[in-house]
Structure 1
Amino acid sequence: MTTKPAVQLCVAGLVYFEVFVPAIGLPAAGEEIFVNDIRLGLGGALNTASVASALGLSVRLAHPNGNGLSDIAIAQKISRLGISTLNWASRADPAISLVFSGVDDRAFVSAADITALADCNTLPSATWIHVPGLLEARYLAKPLAVAKAKGARISVSGSWAPDELAALSSLHGQPWDLLILNAKEAQLAVGDARKAPDLLLGAASNVVVTDGANGAFAYLNGRHVSCSGVPVMARDFTGAGDAFCAGLLNYLIRHPLGDNALAYACAVASRLLTQAGGVVENPAVLAGLEMK
């Protein structure tokens, strides 16, 4: 008798406390500049988990936490969102990012206790497990392999980790079921982003490349597919890639062999561009999205 997974999606990784740095010059030594506002937010694995939950999936968030000030804020936010968690110990404040917003993208300065992920002994029973970062996937390799052997499907997205990206083309045996990169990451990985869906099939049986406003292209469910982007007046680029992952997984969970997974994922990501931050607190942001 097959045991039904406890949740449809487990998202495993670090949850970041984010400080959005105002676009001004630095003060001189001994001086202080006051601004109207310094925005704070949460991100990392919580982005994908919150979008997936808002889309109606049953979700569990697996992440390390300590006893620092950011850990308290993160725990309160997750509780308010109603997302169940699996936690293990880390140092206090294990993941903090300074976010610098540009014209069409962001840059980060981050401090993260990535090695705390190696202390994860087991992951929840789930239909899919998603890891939002290649480095995170390396530290979670053992519990991911165990989960896959028990029937879970494994999804990993890129993140800017040059050494991990460069090593992707040497992977074999398809340790993952789905690999999602943006065009810049795919370019670094194989030299030509358009060839990534074919050249990275040693890493995963399905490879997706997102290309911002241009949409996405992939080798998915045994064939090459693509979609155009969804025009939108962007307010904030934070979390759009994570939202794409959540949308894609939502589609694949509900329609495993569906033909419009990329278009749906792009539509979900476009909705995130209209709000500030990557965590969805109001599911109405994603209302009216249809799976065709």
Structure 2
Amino acid sequence: MLIIQHNLFIWSGSSEKIISKKFGELVLMEYIWSFLEREWVDAADKSILDSQTKFDEVSNKVAKALKNTGGFLNELAGNEPIALPHTLWFGILDLAQNLIQRSSLIATYGLCYYLAIESLNRAPSSFIQFKSIELLLHLYNIDNKVFSMIEIDFDQYTQKLSENNLEDSLEKFRNLLTFVKEKYLEDLKILSNNTGKGKEGKGKNLNQNSYLKKEQISNSNILDVIADEITCPISSEPTDQLCILKCQHMLALSNLKKLKQKICPNCREKIEDNDIRYLPQNSIYKNLYTKFLNLDIFYLQLN
């Protein structure tokens, strides 16, 4: 994944503009979603309790070793390698966080938002909960208006734990949420002091007592932006098989094949076969299809 990300950044940032930044980010997001989809399936096949127990065992082992710093290396060398569960999952979420630091596209932010929400809802341990929370807080700091629903998401998650009578998990999550918020605030202060600009991102200043503005803003706006990015202008429907033309307009692969004239239906520019870039969005489309469908129903009800 790191190699894929590195190459996409180089190709989209080079003077030759081998690919557009938008195309590169959409390709990377599809890879991220496809890899995480496998992690979600693996997690669903295992007991959440077993995963958390494994995480706790490894965490306790590390903590025990750290108490004796003099023998720390011997402790590590004398036992089997310490490996936290779901490290690939954690690493992919970290890649997503790195991507949104580079990006300025709302669609990319939105895809990372749903990625974090899905990961939080499927998290088999506090290890993944931690990174999901951190990613969501980072998105809020980038744009607190677009992502003002994140505090509501946290409330809904705690409510779900409560409804399922998972009191122990509920207490752990609340403590973790408080810890990550405080840690993130401290990180922002350090970054602010280092840059000397006194800014904490595009969002408003954060504080521990009033972290996020509780404002009932529907996330349908974010979903609209994502849907627009993978919607064919001919069918006016999101699709999982897209092609990007040289003019940067998109078409569904099926509709491209049906064109009687090799001309972009948007700008009328001639389409050359060598200039067509294939953009599969299978994982993104499959995981967000229900949300797209519900969005259509929502708009029909409004009308």
TM-score range, shorter chain: under 0.3
Pick the structure with more helix per residue: 2
- Computing the radius of gyration from Cα coordinates, the structure with the larger value is 2
Superposition TM-score, scaled by structure 2 size: 0.26
Superposition TM-score, scaled by structure 1 size: 0.27
